[in-house]
Amino acid sequence: MTQRKKPAPAASSVPPAEAVGTVDLADRSLYIHRELSQLQFNIRVLDQALDEGTPLQERLKFLLIFSSNMDEFFEIRVAELKDQIAFDHELVGPDGIPPKQALAMISEVAHQQIERQYAILNERILPELAAQGIRIVRRNEWTLKQKHWVRRYFRHEVAPLITPIGLDPTHPFPLLVNKSLNFIVQLEGVDAFGRDSGLAIVPAPRVLPRLMRLPDDICEGGENHVLLSSVIHAHVDELFPGMQVHGCYQFRLTRNADLTIDPEDVDDLARALRGGLYTRRFGDAVRLEVADNCPKLLIDYLLKQFGLTAAELYEVNGAVNLSRLFGVASKPGFPQLQFQPFTPSIPKQLKKSDDIFASLSRQDVLLLHPYESFTPVVDMLRQAAKDPSVLAIKQTLYRSGATSEIVDALVDAARAGKEVTAVIELRARFDEESNLTLASRLQQAGAVVIYGVVGVKTHAKLMLIQRREGSELVRYAHLGTGNYHTGNARLYTDYSLLTSDPVLCEDVHKLFSQLTGMGKVQPMKKLLHAPFTLKKTLLDLIARETAHAEAGKPAQIIIKVNAVTDAKVIRALYKASMAGVKIDLIVRGMCCLRPGVPGVSHNIRVRSIIGRFLEHSRVYWFANDGEEKLYLASADLMERNLDRRVETGFPIEGKKLIQRVRRELDLYLADNASASLLQPDGSYVRAQPASGQSPRNVQHQLLEKLCGSGAAVS
């Protein structure tokens, strides 16, 4: 286990030149750098904090999501680029930008946007919240009664848990936990042992809340809060009796938090991960955030301690740990400041029957979460756990939570004596600890737990149930584009297919056999699976559409994914565009393809939808000369998904279901209220209603359409 990645084998910095006519599709100008594109997504999230049509607490949430997104961006993306430089193994993508240049460009954009974030918070969000009765009371605003309450709180709840660290030769600079809140304190005087270094570090206790509500009887209405950082700052002198405190400044260090496993060095994946979870907290430094009133002398001292440069310093006008304000953003009691609640619907065919297997034996069920409930998926598993006719259950788990309803049902099934097999991907980033707990819980219940394939993450979302019906074994399956996490199913847009199609279920069975056992790749009739057939089939379908256009036939592609970075797929889409294929890409996050380039991508349009729900579904639709082809998938158009993960793409068949998904795609393409349009230069422009056109928000429309009377659209 190591924090840093071992140098990979030498690779070509750019794909080989591939010319179509006079156009060189390896031209670096045709590609956007993936990390810079990811930054653009984060900026679009931050933009939501300024959207007056969004309720105020939800606007704060978007601003805080920007913070957590940027944390992960530095922990993973920036850390990876720094590693490449440190190991002298710089990899250059199709865009041709080397890591050093990319880091400089990232630094410039990130500094601008983080400064903008604090300006939005201080000048817009906090004043508007205060006007609504939700306040974060600053130290210079405390009344006498509030000061007395804070002092008591500090002395009884905070001070006993603080360990101040004076810096001297016997107390070197402490090893600070990733993203922890800390203070650097300037001191004057000689302590009881004759020490007078003049500096100390005060780590804020991680067990304490970062936000405390002041009692109503010492406030003048509304809900009033103080930050832990303010409480410590106001009373830091009590931690150093007899010394003079000349300055106290908060700071936070972001570290490399990626976990990398060398398959050649691992004989027990779970044990290796348990060891790595601790070291993640102390990876190499990648960013330093400090209060903007911190003296340059102290900033330089901190930068030297962490081996960082001025480009990696972020001076902020406010708390350095903004993610801790989610308590304010989620505070109940202010319904007018939050999205109105809604009730996910359940399809009629499932409402009419208590036996989900009987329903599925008649027809497939397609669900679009969160507009349609995730409950049928959970109920399917619960029924299987109790049904004496069910003999075996197999399921993949990527992010589910160790105490979810899905896991509860699997535990019940195992305890009931059914053959339960769970393929758990332990390396789901930042969910490793939860997945280790989940694995132990299932093993204790008697389930067979498999950790997938070392070096290839299992990202497919599959459930297979085998049931005896008369003299036959009948299979039922769930295939999804999202995770088996009931909480995420209320926040993420994802498709679920519930089916008893014997051919598709047989394919799912083969894939489980491949994951749990050993053997050559088994041919499948309907299911596409990475890293073997998914990418090849998608490229073939793009090429087929290209051929139709070249033959003068109508040709069209619509793809909805979270990211487009795979250079081979991008080149195929460029070729299709040049042949005349009309291509619409709905890409939530990173997109390395440049649309609208004359003669190359002039037939490609790219839009990103950001709204109340996180767009997460993956849809691949092809006109196919009048015989539409439609696949839903767990995979984005990224190298890691298509080449280095176990992913699935499953067909949606039957005219009724295909037309349904196509209508929903058309709503996305008509959105002129929450969509941003990617420009050839890599920037995004917010879509606007045309003259005389009413605003169209796809998420609002889907709430109204699929939730019916249960929807309350803001």
* Rounded (10°) CA dihedral 315, 318, 319, 323: -100
588 is in an annotated binding site: yes
What value, to the nearest 5°, has the Cα angle with vertex 528 and ends 526 and 531?
Answer: 155
Cβ atoms of 498 and 371 within 8 Å: the answer is: no
Strands (E), 451-546: 457-458, 461-469, 472-480, 492-499, 528-530
Number of H helices and E strands in the chain, helices first, is 21, 29
Tell me how far apart the alpha carbons of residues 658 and 629 are, in angstroms, rounded to a whole number: 8
Tell me how far apart the alpha carbons of residues 280 and 77 are, in angstroms, rounded to a whole number: 15
Length of the chain measured in residues: 714
Six token digits for residue 704: 């109204």
Tell me how far apart the alpha carbons of residues 347 and 362 are, in angstroms, rounded to a whole number: 14
Beta bridge mates, 632:
619, 650
Cβ atoms of 66 and 42 within 8 Å: the answer is: yes
The amino acid at 138: R
Residue where the block lists tokens 């002395």:
155
Six token digits for residue 418: 């059914």
The amino acid at 591: C
122 is in an annotated binding site: no
Cβ atoms of 610 and 49 within 8 Å: the answer is: no
Cβ atoms of 356 and 367 within 8 Å: the answer is: no
The alpha-carbon radius of gyration of the chain (Å, integer) is 27
**Cα distances (Å, whole numbers) of residue 353 to 474, 497, 502:** 19, 18, 22
**Cα distances (Å, whole numbers) of residue 672 to 611, 669, 677, 690:** 12, 8, 10, 8
195 is in an annotated binding site: no
The amino acid at 532: F
548 is catalytic: no
| Active-site residue identified among 33, 225, 369, 459 | 459
Beta bridge mates, 115:
none
140 is in an annotated binding site: no
Cβ atoms of 411 and 442 within 8 Å: the answer is: yes
Cβ atoms of 635 and 530 within 8 Å: the answer is: yes
3 state SS for 270-326: HHHHHHHHHHHCCCCEEEEEEECCCCHHHHHHHHHHHCCCHHHEEEECCCCCHHHHH
399 is in an annotated binding site: yes
Beta bridge mates, 497:
366, 479
Cβ atoms of 661 and 474 within 8 Å: the answer is: no
Distance of CA 526 to the CA centre of its chain: 29
**Cα distances (Å, whole numbers) of residue 29 to 14, 97, 561, 568, 593:** 12, 10, 23, 16, 10
The amino acid at 580: G
278 is in an annotated binding site: no
Cβ atoms of 75 and 253 within 8 Å: the answer is: no
Residue 434 DSSP symbol: H
Residue 544 DSSP symbol: H
Could you list the residues known to form a binding site for ATP, using ranges. Answer: 69, 492, 588, 616
Could you list the residues known to form a binding site for Mg(2+), using ranges. Answer: 399, 429
Could you list the residues known to form a binding site, using ranges. Answer: 69, 399, 429, 492, 588, 616
Question: Mind telling me the catalytic residues?
Answer: 459
